[in-house]
Each structure stands twice: as structure tokens, then as C-alpha cells.
Amino acid sequence: MSYFKSLPNHSDKRGSLTIIDDAKSKLPFEVERIFCIHSTTDLPRGGHKHYKTEEAVICIKGSFVITTHEDGQPETDYVLDSPDKCLIVEAREWRVLHSFSPDAVIIVLASYHYDPADYIYDHK
């Protein structure tokens, strides 16, 4: 089941710095792939789950909603609107990203390299 992790945030008169300096202690997996989602439209993204890939999803600018659920469980909406919020999405958990602000920039840290065979599009 998805859950939030707070990331260390340091602010002063110059601005803010959010850190993942020791990923092994902050994330439940080793990062094998990083990708960025930006320049979104009003169309949803995701609409799948994975056999093995876990993801840490961070909105570094703007905001969006991610709806997740596991088989037989109710859907849960998470609002990501700050770079110090990190949503952990486990494998076999359905996810849909939607309701993007016009300036939304999202970074995703994934536990495995891209493999088309890891994706499950059948929404049961």
C-alpha cells in the first residue's frame, strides 16, 4: 500500500533544499532508474501497475493527484504538492496520475530499469 515519507528540507533566506542524501535509509529500495514527468496536459498518466518495480514519486514543482489501489482495496487519492513529500508506490499497486497543475514537474525514482514485461495494464 502507498505511503508518504517526509524528506529533509532545509530553508534559509536563499530558498529551500530538499535532500535524499542517503537513499538506502530514506527509500525502501535501491534506485535503478530516474525519470521526470513535465509539460503535462489534462490527460491522466500511469494507468498501470508493475510486477516488481517500486517507485518513489516526488512533485518538485506545482501539484498533482495520484490515485492508487491494490486489488480488492478502495482507491486512495494522494495530493503531491511539495518536494519534501515522497509517495512510495509498491509493486502490484495500480496508479493513475491526474489533476496536474500547469507547472507540475514530477520526478520518479524506480527500483528497476525499464522493462515492458514488468507492466500490468489489465485493471482487475
Please check whether residue 16 lies inside any domain of the structure.
no
Please check whether residue 52 lies inside any domain of the structure.
yes
What's the domain range around 39? 3-8+29-118
* Number of domains forming the structure of the chain: 1
Query: Which residue in this structure is represented by grid cell 538506502?
Result: 24
Tell me the pLDDT tens digit for each residue of 22-57. 655 578 899 999 999 999 999 999 999 999 999 999
Q: CA geometry: angle at 70 spanning 66 and 74, to 5°?
A: 75
User: 68 is written with which cell numbers?
Assistant: 492508487
Please check whether residue 53 lies inside any domain of the structure.
yes
Tell me the pLDDT tens digit for each residue of 72-89. 889 999 999 999 999 999
CATH code, 49: 2.60.120.10
